[in-house]
Amino acid sequence: MTDTIKLTIWNEFRHEKSNPAVQKIYPKGIHSTLAESLEKDAKIEVSTATLDEDQHGLNEEVLNNTDVLIWWGHCAHGEVSDEIVEKVQQRVLSGMGLIVLHSGHYSKIFKRLMGSNCSLRWREAAEKERLWNIAPGHPITQGIGEYVELLNEEMYGERFDIPEPDQLIFISWFEGGEVFRSGATWTRGNGKVFYFRPGHETYPTYHNKDVQQVIRNAVHWAKPMVNIPTNLAPNTEPLESLSEKSATFGEAGIKGQ
């Protein structure tokens, strides 16, 4: 594997076109704001893709040249092709890293990889969120203090229907009293998956330096260690010589015994 991480940022890119409030915060799209932040890291090579592009911008060539994929979606999960979801899943199982942001918890790809509904409680009331760093030694939390405070965010609350994480990294507290598992990791096949909760489209969360740092750290953490397809089941020749066995099904023993 090379030192350069090939990152693709995938965004639905619908709210920015239809909602003036969102357009004001992210005039070029959430994907562009994330790209501008992550391009400052010399070790990350950034490209973007959006829902309305051909094959959602995720054709085979793009996926095969992606080390880490960031996913943001909200109102159009159902429009994502099952064929593309299958291809993304296979790339993750082979080793590609996947970072799922905010409402991407309901995306087809996240639900498929989790094997659960990924449902939760929610409320949009511009609440204060305190994002507690409970794994200060983890690579994803480096450079982050004891907590990150976001003055306005959408509330996500438990119970969050996800399988037990490999590691829980962030827990959120909201002004209304709810808590939420806001940062968690899993391994799927040869690939690493990180879910990170903050990032509702009507608030400038992705302009926050700490949030940007977490995502940057996660890109480095999710970089593939191997790229080994796991959807193959080859008939394999033995490494050592085998004694001659009976070819008749059910007949036990070695000839001559």
Q: Is residue 88 a part of any domain in this protein? A: yes
- Residue in the block written with tokens 């740092």: 213
Q: Is residue 79 a part of any domain in this protein? A: yes
In angstroms, the CA 120 to CA 156 distance is 7
Beta-ladder partners of 72: 11, 101
pTM: 0.93
Q: Is residue 241 a part of any domain in this protein? A: no
Phi, psi of 113 (to 5 degrees): -70, -30
Number of domains in the chain: 1
The whole-number pLDDT of residue 38 equals: 98
Beta-ladder partners of 8: 47, 69
| Burial per residue of 203-235, b for 16 or more beta-carbon CB atoms within 10 angstroms, e otherwise | bbbbebebbbbbbbbbbbbbbbeeeeeeeeeee
Q: Is residue 207 a part of any domain in this protein? A: yes
pLDDT in tens, the chain (257 residues): 568 999 999 999 999 999 999 999 999 999 999 999 999 999 999 999 999 999 999 999 999 999 999 999 999 999 999 999 999 999 999 999 999 999 999 999 999 999 999 999 999 999 999 999 999 999 999 999 999 999 999 999 999 999 999 999 999 999 999 999 999 999 999 999 999 999 999 999 999 999 999 999 999 999 999 888 888 888 989 899 888 766 565 555 555 54
Q: Is residue 248 a part of any domain in this protein? A: no
Please give the residue range of the domain that contains residue 39: 5-118+183-222
Q: Is residue 171 a part of any domain in this protein? A: no
Tell me, what CATH number does 194's domain have? 3.40.50.880
